[in-house]
Amino acid sequence: MTLTRTRWVPIGLLVVVGIAAGMQFAKVAAVFLPVAAAFDAPETVAALFVSAPAVVGMVLGLTASVLAARIGFRRVIVGCLAIGAILSLVQSFLPPLPVFLGARVLEGIAHLGLVISCPVLIILLSAPRHVSLAMSLWGAFFGLAFAFAGWLAPIVEQAGGVGAVFLGHAILLAVLLAAVLLVLPHVPGEQPNREAHPEGFFRAHVDAYRSPRQFLPGVVFIFHTLMYVPLVTFVPLFADDASIAGVLLVWMPLVSIIGTIAAGFVGQYTTTPPVVLIVGYAGVAVLVIATWALLAVEIPILLVPLALMFFSGLIQGAAFGLIPSLSTDPTVTSRANGVLTQLGNLGSTVGPPLFASLIAGTGAAGFAPVMWLVVALCAGGGIMSAIALRLTGARPLRSAVPDKAG
């Protein structure tokens, strides 16, 4: 059943749920040093506190999407909010290190269920003319989570300690659980699919990676996630001026959020998500070369890296918008979200150490390996986006083609 009117209120609620899910990573990253100090852990061990939930996503991303379709997406959201709230409450007591780390790994289950199920319901709650726009709003959830956590978590930690940060997140998830039960409707098409029989781990992956409509959004996305965190982390280190470095650290992720939201408007009303992806990857490639050129002539970098992150944000938003462009069938979109989550977690995990190993020093010479790797990733992402454009059968201008429901 296709809606003729977009249900913006429940869609907004689902985006907030996504932000709370992103905070399952961001709440630790925002108070990283206090958390490490609370457990008297070296930074290398404390880094596991941040990345532990990603392990579940890398291994079970696709399998979880199959189970979510069988259980029902609304039920999964309700259950995962409850699980997340309980685990955050456990973490707020700062239990022994093995218990805390175990709770972080289990929290990955709650995170995975939310980021797979919420976008499926957003698609089902959107009229065809608003699907790309709604999905771009969803695509901003992770950046918004880090922005809000970076602002609020240090304040809460200063006032009540590290435990208060985790307690605050538990309360937020509990409030959202009540809101979902009260506000989120039962959506036609999201009911449990009893025909989605449980599949073996290997079989589920074979089926998904044989279907371009299921694997292409994830493949397009991994080229982005391999370089997003490294760019945000390492580009400011090449700024000679400490004040410019500080501005870049704050504003690079924020500008990427603006690009993510802009991708929805452009992909919905001007062109299509695959075209936005091609433009995004081309823009990042050109601007990373421009950043290297500025470093070579010792001109302070500021506006160029910010523009680069705007184009990076276009990629983020358009990758999520690509899913309903290829199919709006709930089972297919669920699996596509599972693949995207799986490959996104893989890229975010592999990218930072890969880039760190290539940085040879400071200035243009040290940045050159980073530049060439980014250009190579953009080439790969652009090629995959062109394949997606061909698969959608869409011309560049959306006005030239009718809206498609599936």
- What is the structure's pLDDT at 239? 84
Tokens for 257? 């959020």
pLDDT value at residue 397: 39
Query: Tell me: the pLDDT tens digits for 225-257?
Result: 899 878 887 888 888 787 888 788 778 888 988
> What's the confidence (pLDDT) of residue 281?
98
Asked if 146 and 281 touch (Cβ cutoff 8 Å), the reply is no
101 in Cβ contact with 48 (< 8 Å): yes
Confidence check: pLDDT of 406 > 50: no
Top pLDDT among 237 and 108 is at: 108
Share of the chain above pLDDT 70, in %: 90
Average pLDDT over residues 66-81: 88
> Mean of the pLDDT values across residues 163-173?
97
Residue 53 or 2, more confident: 53
Counting residues of the chain whose pLDDT is more than 90, the rounded percentage is: 38
pLDDT at 43: 65
* Distance from C-alpha of 292 to C-alpha of 295, rounded to nearest angstrom: 5
334-360 pLDDT tens trace = 788 888 888 887 887 788 778 878 887
CA distance 234 to 133: 31
DSSP 96-154: -HHHHHHHHHHHHHHHHHHHHHHHHHHHHTS-GGGHHHHHHHHHTHHHHHHHHHHHHHH
The secondary element (H helix, E strand) that includes residue 317 is helix 303-326
**Banded pLDDT at 402 (limits 50, 70, 90):** very low
- Binned at pLDDT 50, 70 and 90, residue 395 comes out as very low
CA distances to 107, 108, 211, 224, 347 from 320, in Å = 23, 20, 17, 12, 16
pLDDT at 12: 94
Q: Average of pLDDT values for 123-152?
A: 83
CA proximity to 84, closest of 192, 150, 175, 210: 175
pLDDT at 204: 67
> Which residues have C-beta within 8 Å of that of residue 365, sequence separation ≥ 6?
none
Q: For the chain, give the mean pLDDT.
A: 84
What pLDDT band is residue 280 in, cutting at 50, 70 and 90?
very high
Higher pLDDT, 222 or 239: 222
Per-residue model confidence as pLDDT tens digits over 186-213 = 776 566 655 555 555 566 667 777 788 8
Q: Which of 5-9, 73-77, 322-326, 361-365 has the lowest mean pLDDT?
A: 361-365
Lowest mean pLDDT among 52-61, 122-131, 147-156, 208-217: 52-61
Question: Each residue of 291-334: pLDDT tens digit?
Answer: 999 999 888 888 999 999 999 999 998 998 888 888 878 778 87
- The mean pLDDT of 349-378, rounded to a whole number, is 86
